[in-house]
Amino acid sequence: MELTGALLRFSVPRAFVVVAPGYTDVRLGVECELRKRGWAQSLTPADADMLVICGDGGERFAESVDRVWEQTPAPRTSLRIVEFDTIARSFDAARAALCDVSTLRVDAIERRMVSGRVARGSDMGDSKHADSHANAHSHNMDADMDIDMDADMDMSMDLPGGIAMADRGPDRDGLKLDQLHVSLGPMLPDWPTGLVLRLVLQGDIVQSAELEIVVGRRDSSFWLEAEANTEDASQIRAAAAADSLQRFLGVAGWKSAAATGRWLRDELLAPGADVLAKPRFVRWIRRVRRSRVLRWSMNGLGLVGQDTPDQLHGDVSARYLRWAEEIASVLSAPVVAGQPVAVPWGLQRAERARAALTLLPTMLVGQEFTAARLIVASFDPDLEALHSHAVPDSHD
Q: What is the pLDDT along the chain (396 residues), one digit of tens a residue?
A: 566 666 667 789 999 999 999 999 999 999 999 999 999 999 999 999 999 999 998 888 999 999 999 999 989 999 999 999 999 999 999 999 998 888 788 777 777 776 665 555 545 444 343 333 333 333 333 334 333 333 333 333 333 333 334 455 555 555 566 789 999 989 999 999 999 999 999 989 999 999 999 888 888 889 999 998 888 888 899 999 999 999 999 999 999 999 999 999 999 998 877 776 688 899 999 999 999 999 999 999 999 988 888 889 999 999 999 999 999 988 876 555 445 555 789 899 999 999 999 999 999 999 999 999 999 999 999 999 998 875 545 443
Closest CA to 261 of 244, 277, 237: 244
Name the residue type at position 229: N
What span, in angstroms and rounded, lies between the C-alpha atoms of 246 and 191?
Answer: 11
* Those residues with Cβ within 8 angstroms of residue 210's Cβ, 6 or more apart along the chain or in another chain: 197, 198, 361
What span, in angstroms and rounded, lies between the C-alpha atoms of 382 and 244?
Answer: 10
Residue 295 CA, chain-centre distance (Å), reads: 22
Residue 80: what pLDDT?
A: 97
Residue 163 CA, chain-centre distance (Å), reads: 29
Residue 134: what pLDDT?
A: 34
Residue 7: what pLDDT?
A: 67
What span, in angstroms and rounded, lies between the C-alpha atoms of 62 and 60?
Answer: 5
Strands (E), the chain: 14-19, 40-41, 50-54, 77-81, 157-158, 164-165, 167-170, 176-184, 195-202, 205-213
Alpha helices by DSSP H, listed for 125-215, are 128-138
Residue 349: what pLDDT?
A: 93
Residue 11: what pLDDT?
A: 85
* Those residues with Cβ within 8 angstroms of residue 214's Cβ, 6 or more apart along the chain or in another chain: 21, 57, 58, 60, 61, 185, 186, 194, 195, 196
What span, in angstroms and rounded, lies between the C-alpha atoms of 209 and 192?
Answer: 16
